[in-house]
Chains A and B, each alone.
Chain A
Amino acid sequence: MQPLLAVSGLQKVYEGSGRRVEAVRDLTFTIEPGELVCLVGPSGCGKTTLLKCVAGLLTPTGGEVLLEGRRVSGPPPGMAVVFQEYGRSLFPWMRVRENVELPLKQKSPLSRARRRELVAEALESVGLADAAGAYPWQLSGGMQQRVAIARALAYEPGVLLMDEPFAAVDAQTRADLEDLVRRLWRERGMTILFVTHDIDEAVYLGERVLVLSASPTVVQEQLKIDLPAERDQLHTRVAPRFAELRTHVYEQIQAAKRGS
Chain B
Amino acid sequence: MKKISVEVNGKKVTKEIQDHTILSVFIRENLNLTGTHVGCDTSQCGACVVHVDGKSIKSCTALAADVDGSKITTIEGIAKNGNMHPMQEAFKKLHGLQCGFCTPGMVMSAIDLLQNNKKPSDTEIREWLEGNICRCTGYQNIVAAVKEAASKM
Partners in one complex: no
